[in-house]
């Protein structure tokens, strides 16, 4: 049986705000502030637990009207995960 693809979901206690040309993601648990560029901010906005990584990559590619971004999107999501910004699987 195929395992269902992971659907990353951002923790709902994080503060996600735009400032200048960048976005801040504040983690009150660790007091860390993550600075996101436009691509990372867009990826984060899709991390709602409703789409898997491939689907998020497709959404981002569509938004930027480009292709071949899967590896970049995976890297961004890996960084979010390493920072503990998602709900546990």
Partner 1 sequence: MSSGDSATIRSTRVDFSCGNAHLAAALPSERAAAWLNTLLPEHRTSATLEPTEMQPHSAVDFSIEQTSEGWFVLDHGLLPAVRGPIGEGQAWGVLERALADRLALGLVSSLEPAVLVHAGGVAADGGAVLIAGVSGSGKSSLVTAFASTSFSVLGDDAVVLTTDGRVHPFHRPFKLHEGARRQLGLARPASEAVGAGADPWLYQPEELGSKWSDPAPLRDVIFARREPGTDARLTEELPAVGTRLLLDLGLGPVDRTHALSRIIDGTQGARFWALRFDRCDLAREVVAGQLGLEV
* Closer of 17 and 65 to partner 1 (Cβ): 17
* Closer of 5 and 35 to partner 1 (Cβ): 35
Taking residues 16 to 55 in sequence order and writing x for each that binds partner 1 by CB under 8 A, - otherwise, the string is: -xxxxxxxx-x-x--x-x-x--------------------
* Closer of 16 and 59 to partner 1 (Cβ): 16
Between CA 38 and CA 89 the distance in angstroms is 26
Compute the least distance from the CB of residue 21 to partner 1, in Å. 8
Cα atoms in the Cβ-side hemisphere of radius 13 Å centred on 13: 9
Question: Looking at 1-89, which runs of residues are DSSP E strands?
Answer: 15-19, 22-27, 32-36
Compute the least distance from the CB of residue 3 to partner 1, in Å. 36
Measure Cα distances from 40 to 1, 12, 33, 68, 72 in Å: 33, 17, 14, 16, 10
Binding residues for partner 1, per CB under 8 A?
15, 17-24, 26, 28, 31, 33, 35
């Amino acid at each position: 049986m195929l395992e269902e693809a992971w659907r990353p979901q951002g923790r709902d206690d994080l503060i996600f705000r735009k400032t200048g040309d960048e976005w801040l993601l504040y983690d009150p648990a660790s007091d860390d502030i993550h600075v996101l560029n436009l691509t990372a901010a867009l990826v984060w906005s899709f991390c709602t637990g409703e789409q898997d990584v491939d689907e998020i990559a497709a959404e981002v590619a569509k938004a930027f009207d480009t292709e071949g971004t899967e590896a970049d999107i995976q890297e961004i999501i890996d960084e979010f995960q390493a920072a503990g910004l998602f709900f546990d699987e």
